[in-house]
Amino acid sequence: MTAAIRVLGMLVLLGMSAAAPRAGDGRDDALLRALAAVSRPLIIAADLDPLLTAARAARVVMLGEASHGTHEFQVWRDRLTRRLIAEQGFEVVAIEGDWSSLLALDRYVRHLPGAAASARAALAPIRRWPRWVWANAELAAFAEWLHAYNRDRPLPRRVGIHGIDLYAVWESSAAVRAFYDRHVPALASWLRRQYALLDGFAGDQRGYADHVRRGGRSARQAAAAVVADLAARYRAAPPGARDVLFEALQHARVVAAGERYLGTLAWPGHLSWNIRSGHFSDTLTHLLTHYGPASRAVVWAHNTHVGDGRATAMQRSGEATLGQLARLRYGADAVLLVGFATARGTLLAAPHWDGPRQLMRIPRPRADSLDAALLASGGGDRVLLFDADPAASRLLQRWLPQRAIGVVYEPANEATRHYVATRPALRYDALVFVPTTRALEPLPTE
C-alpha cells in the first residue's frame, strides 16, 4: 500500500465527519469588493509575474481548468508553463492523460530516437476517448515550443511531458509484454502468466469490474509482482539504462493501479476516485525522483484534481484530490495551486460517457455561484491572488458553488450536476478568470 493510499484512508474518515457546506449568496457587495481587491489584470504574458513570484519556492505548480474543452485555459497554462520552465528551471510537465498516449509527444519534445516529425504527428495516433482533450492544436503549440527549447540542451536536462492517468490498462500491459520480449526474454512467459487474467478481458473495463464484483479472482497480486520486478531492475540499472526501464515500470504501475481502480468501480464512489488520485500523486513523485532531487514539476489537470479537496464538498464523501495530497506530501509552501474559471462562451464536451464530442454553449452561471460573482465584479481576464489582501481572503473562505465541467456536460442540468461547493481562498492559492471563452481546436481524426 502506497503512502498516498494510506493518507487517503485517513482522509476518508475525516471527510465523513466533516460538516456539510452551505453555499452563500455569490452577488453581495462585500463579496464583490473582496474579489476586486485580490484581482489583477491578465492581458499579456508579463501579467503572470505575480504567479511567477509565488512559484519561486514551489517544487510543484498545479494549473487547473474548469472544463476539459476550453481554449483559453490551455493558452494561459501554456504561457505560464513556458515561463516556469525558461525562468525558473521546471523540468517536468505532468498532464491528466494516459502515460501510453503521451509517450510519443514526450519523445518528440525531448528529441528521443524514433520521435515523430512534429507535435501534431505525435498526437495524431491518440484514439482513446476523449481524444480532443489531448489531440488539440493548443497542446501541439506548447509542445512545439518545448521541442525548440530542448533542442540545444543536454539529454539529462531536457524537459519532459508525461501522462499521469490510469485508464489505459491494456495499452500499458501490451507495452510491458513488449519490454520483456525484447529485454528480458527469459521471463517473457512468466510475464504473460501474470497478465493472463487481465488480458483475457481484452480492454473490457466493465467486464473486469463485474468479474471482481461477483467474487472472481483478481489480478492484483500478479500485477504488483510485475511492478516489484521492474522496480528492482530500475534500482539496479546504471543511470544510462534507466530511461527505458522507467518507461516500462510506469506502464506496469498503470496496470497495477488501473486494476485496483477497476476492481472498486462497483463500490462507493470515493474508493475508485481515491485510487486514481493516489496514482496521480504517486506518479508525480516517481517523475520527480526520476528527474532528480532538484527537479520541479508543472501539472495540468482539472480543477477537481488540482484544488485542495478539503476546501470543497468532496471532503464530505471522503474524496481526496491531487492538490491536497501534494500539500500533505511536499508541504503547502512547496505547492502552488492555481484554479481556472469562466462564465460564458463555448467548449467541447460530450453529452454522455464515450459519446461524440460536440460544440456546446455555456449558459450563464448560477446566481449564487463564485462564477457569477466573478462576472458581476467587473473587468476582463484577470488573476486573483488570494494572499494579496488578508481581509478579502478571509471573506473568500466562505462556501460558494463553482462550476465544474468534465468531458461530459449536460447544460440543461447544469445547476444541479456541474457545481462543486468551494471555499475559494482555501481551495486554491490563485485563480485565473476569463469571463468569455471558446472551445478547443481538435486535431483532425486522420
Q: Which residues of 301-321 are buried (b: 16+ CB within 10 A; e: fewer)?
A: bbbbbbbbbbbbbbbbebbbb
Q: What is the pLDDT of residues 350-402, one digit of tens each?
A: 999 999 999 999 999 999 999 999 999 988 999 999 999 999 999 999 999 99
CA angle 315, 319, 321 (to 5 degrees): 100
Q: Are strands 400-403 and 419-422 parallel, antiparallel or unpaired?
A: antiparallel
Angle at CA of residue 386, ends 329 and 423, nearest 5°: 70
pLDDT of residue 5: 41
Q: Does residue 35 or residue 28 have the better pLDDT? A: 35
pLDDT tens digits, 297-324 = 999 999 999 999 999 999 999 999 999 9
Q: Which of 83, 127, 74, 72 is nearest to 104 (CA)?
A: 127
Please name the residues in contact with 193: beta carbons below 8 A apart, sequence gap of 6 or more: 222
As given in the structure block, the three cell numbers for residue 86 are: 525558461
User: Could you give the angle at the alpha carbon of 80 between the alpha carbons of 280 and 275, nearest 5°?
Assistant: 10
Which pLDDT score is estimated for 271? 92
Q: Which residue has the higher pLDDT, 269 or 1?
A: 269
CA 33 to chain centre: 32
Binning pLDDT at 50, 70 and 90, where does residue 348 land?
Answer: very high
Q: What is the pLDDT of residue 143?
A: 98
Tell me if residue 36 falls in helix, strand or coil. Answer: helix
The enclosing H or E element of 413 equals none
* Angstrom distance (rounded) from CA 414 to CA 362: 9
Domain 3-165+268-437 class? alpha beta
Quote the CA–CA distance of 271 and 407 in Å, as a whole number: 21
pTM for this predicted structure? 0.93
- What is the spatial distance between Cα 94 and Cα 82, in angstroms, rounded to a whole number? 14
How many whole angstroms separate alpha carbon 273 and alpha carbon 302? 14
Residue listed under C-alpha cell 485508464: 167
- In this prediction, residues 39-64 reach a mean pLDDT of 97
Collect all residues with Cβ–Cβ distance below 8 Å to 282 and sequence separation of at least 6.
2, 4, 253, 257
CA-CA distances (angstroms) from residue 297 to 27, 75, 146, 422, 423?
Answer: 36, 18, 14, 25, 25
Whole-number Å distance between alpha carbons of 221 and 256: 9
For CATH 3.40.1660.10, the residue range(s) in the chain are 3-165+268-437
Residue 371 cell numbers, joined: 462564477
pLDDT above 80 (res 14)? no
Q: From the CB of residue 152, how many other CB atoms can be counted at a distance below 10 Å?
A: 8
Angle at 313 between CA 310 and CA 318, to 5 degrees: 65
- Report the C-alpha gap between 245 and 231 in whole angstroms: 8
Q: Could you give the CA distance from residue 211 to residue 206 in angstroms, rounded to a whole number? A: 8
How confident is residue 420, by pLDDT bands cut at 50, 70 and 90? Answer: very high
Digit-coded pLDDT (tens) for 106-137: 999 999 999 999 999 999 999 999 999 999 99
**Could you tell me which of 334, 319, 304 has the C-alpha nearest to residue 270?**
319
Alpha-helical (H) ranges within 169-321 are 169-183, 188-199, 205-213, 220-236, 242-263, 269-291, 303-306
pLDDT at 234 over 50: yes
φ, ψ dihedrals at 161, nearest 5°:
-130, 125
- Asked if pLDDT for residue 13 goes beyond 90, the answer is no
d(CA 10, CA 409): 32
Mean per-residue pLDDT of the chain = 92
The yes-or-no verdict on residue 21 having pLDDT over 90 is: no
At 125, is the secondary structure helix, strand, or coil?
coil
Radius of gyration of the chain (CA): 21
Residue 96 parent element (H or E): strand 92-98
pLDDT of residue 240: 84
pLDDT digits (tens, 9 = 90+) for 54-106: 999 999 999 999 999 999 999 999 999 999 999 999 999 999 999 999 999 99
Q: Tens digits of per-residue pLDDT, 173-221? A: 999 999 999 999 999 999 999 999 999 999 899 999 999 988 899 999 9
130 prior amide bond cis, ω within 30: yes
Say what the pLDDT of residue 23 is. 40
Helix axis angle, 242-263 relative to 169-183, nearest 10°? Answer: 140
How high is the pLDDT of residue 15? 36
Instruction: State the pLDDT at residue 4.
Output: 46
